[in-house]
């Protein structure tokens, strides 16, 4: 959840889970990665046509070409995610993992803390970033990626920046790093696992496309 610059998220101590709850369920998280190892070669007909249609044989094959096509055809709002990630010098897989974790790709989601849209931006941050409509996927992802780039530049550590995105810059400053909130630690773990999943899918698609090209 994107929280306003300098304003901590409202974490009431009474609402925090016990320290025992901080033992993340990595077994459950790994289950999310497992399906990537048994993915079909192509996840959509459009993806298949991109590599098998005769007219595309002259296309220069590279991981970046495959990655862009994968995001455009196989990830919800992937064209926006890919574009805004590149614009802000972020990995598309990381941004997709953040959107997945924040909202499960639901553009009209509103949390119990009033965070809105695909990247769960709170109203104060939305106003600061000049978002007219936080439920518009293009505006939301553009603002969320811009804000995360700011956090990454400020804290110079990806996991700390993720913690600030989730729990607020104020909490990161107060604790001198990642806050000991189970929700925040779980958020970081989920984003990391999901990014790995997207990277693996892109790599699998790339390797499959190379094998198919070698047969022609």
Which residues are catalytically annotated? 102
> How big is the CA angle at 139 (ends 200 and 68), to the nearest 5 degrees?
30
**What residues contact 119, with CB distance under 8 A and at least 6 apart?**
2, 98, 99, 102, 103, 140, 141, 143, 144, 145
What is the phi/psi pair of residue 110, to 5°? Answer: -125, 125
Nearest to 140 by CA among 84, 188, 190: 84
What interhelical angle do 182-215 and 45-52 show, nearest 10? Answer: 40
Q: Would you state the structure tokens that stand for residue 165, as one six-digit string?
A: 């995105």
């Amino acid at each position: 959840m994107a929280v306003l610059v300098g304003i901590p998220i409202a974490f009431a101590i009474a609402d925090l889970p016990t320290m025992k709850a901080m033992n993340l369920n990595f077994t459950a998280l790994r289950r999310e990665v497992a399906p990537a190892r048994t993915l079909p070669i192509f996840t959509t007909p459009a993806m298949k046509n991109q590599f098998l249609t005769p007219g595309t044989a002259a296309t220069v094959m590279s991981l970046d070409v495959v990655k862009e096509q994968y995001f455009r055809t196989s990830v919800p709002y992937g064209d926006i995610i890919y574009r805004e990630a590149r614009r802000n010098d972020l990995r598309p897989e990381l941004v997709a993992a953040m959107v997945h974790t924040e909202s499960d790709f639901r553009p009209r989601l509103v949390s119990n803390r009033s965070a809105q849209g695909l990247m769960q931006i709170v109203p104060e941050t939305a106003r600061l970033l000049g978002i007219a409509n936080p439920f518009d996927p293009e505006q939301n992802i553009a603002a969320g990626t811009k804000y995360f780039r700011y956090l990454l530049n400020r804290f110079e550590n990806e996991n700390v920046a993720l913690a600030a995105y989730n729990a607020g810059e104020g909490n990161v400053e107060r604790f001198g790093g990642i806050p000991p909130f189970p929700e925040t630690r779980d958020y970081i773990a989920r984003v990391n696992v999901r990014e790995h999943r997207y990277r693996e899918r892109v790599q699998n698609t790339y390797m499959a496309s190379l094998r198919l090209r070698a047969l022609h």
